[in-house]
Every structure is written in C-alpha cells, then in structure tokens.
Copies of this chain bind each other. A is one copy, B any other.
Amino acid sequence: MAPWTSWLERLPLRRSYQVARPRQTIYRAGEALDGVPIICDGWAARVSRLSDGRRQILSFVLPGDLVSTNAVFAGSLNFFVEAITTVRHSSYDRADLNERLGAEPSLIKILVGACLAEKDEIDQLATNLGRRRAEERIARLFLHLKERLDARGLVRDQSFALPLRQQHIADATGLTPVHVNRVLGALRTEGLIELSSGILKIANPAGLQRIADLR
C-alpha cells in the first residue's frame, strides 16, 4: 500500500489544532460540520449510539487519518466521533479543500480510493459482526490494527501500543466487556497474545491468523 497519509500531510490547508481528552465526544451525529476533521495524534473512534445507550464502534481513527471521507462532501455526519486517548485534531476548511481538489485531479482519485476503501472496511465489519464468533472478531480486530499501525512504523517485534479499554474492544466487536475479558484470557492462555499495560504483542501470529480465519 502507498504511504497512507502523505497526501494529507502535504496539503498546506491545515487549521488550528484542538485537543480532546480521553472519553470526550469530539463530534455529535447530525451537528453542523464546517471543516473536514483529521486526527493528528492519538486514537479516536467513529461511534454509533442507540437510544438506550448501546454503542457500536464503526471504526478506529488512527493518527493521520481523515475521520471519514464523508466529511469532504457533506456538512454533517451520521455518527459520533469520540476520543479514546488524548487526541490532537484539526480540520481542513471544506471550501479550501474542495477548491484544491478541483485543481488536482490526482487528489480526487486518492480521495475516491480512500472512500471506496472505507466502504470495504465497513462491509468487512458488518460481515464480522453478523457471521463471526467472539474469538474470531477479536483476533481480526487485533490483526487489523496491527496492519494499520505497521504501515505507520508503529509495530516492533510484533508489539504495539494498544490504548483500548476492554469496553472499547467490546463496542467494536459487538460483545460485552465481560465476555471480551474472558476471550482475552483464553487468547493469552493459548499463548497467542500478550497484553498488559497498554502493549499488545501478537505472540503467535500464525495461530492468531488461524483463529481469525485469515489465510
């Protein structure tokens, strides 16, 4: 994959930074959104909330990520954005960005590609939630995160910083925190992962991939 973020970093349109503390809601579904938000630093999540408090994490937004390509074209979004760690974020001015896009067709191509990739990701997520069991979902989540972080050079010796609470993992996989805890215990016991104090090590990549049903 091409360096995932270069095109974003090169755009000289960035506005002032904002900082959000962990657990803070950065954006509320439906709110007017003047800019196109990107996460500069820290982890955030796209979240769907049900009326009775149930939550589904639709994706994790990692440093350098556009929150969603939707924001480039639409003035509001249908999901919440929440900070997981302390998050530094900023926005492109939508008008500026669109002007820029008009001038550079190659940028449009990249953006469209990102949008299609986002769609494929959600299709994947829906498939995982609908048809995979707890162990599979969690294994895939970890491997997926590892892949994304690897592209950023944030993985060393099969290990990376994982700032997620078990509640986050639960909300991302459609499970309860208690069950996440048990599955993590099992994965640990089987020697597939080591997870403590915010560091996840994929101790047995092949084994985890087998569980994740990844060829």
A60-98 interface with B by 8 A CB criterion = 68, 70, 73-74, 78-79
Report yes or no: B48 in contact with A116, Cβ–Cβ below 8 A: no
* Residue A130 is within 8 A (CB to CB) of chain B in the complex: yes
Report yes or no: B58 in contact with A126, Cβ–Cβ below 8 A: yes
Q: Kindly report how many copies of this chain are found in the complex they form together.
A: 2
Report yes or no: A73 in contact with B122, Cβ–Cβ below 8 A: no
A contact residues, range: 35 or more
* Residue A54 is within 8 A (CB to CB) of chain B in the complex: yes
24 cross-chain CB contacts under 8 A: A48-B124, A48-B126, A48-B127, A50-B127, A50-B132, A55-B131, A56-B130, A56-B131, A58-B127, A70-B116, A70-B119, A73-B113, A74-B116, A78-B123, A115-B115, A119-B119, A119-B122, A122-B123, A122-B126, A125-B126, A126-B129, A129-B129, A129-B174, A130-B173
Q: Which A residues contact B (CB, under 8 angstroms)?
A: 46, 48, 50-52, 54-56, 58, 68, 70, 73-74, 78-79, 112-113, 115-116, 118-120, 122-127, 129-132, 173-174, 213, 215
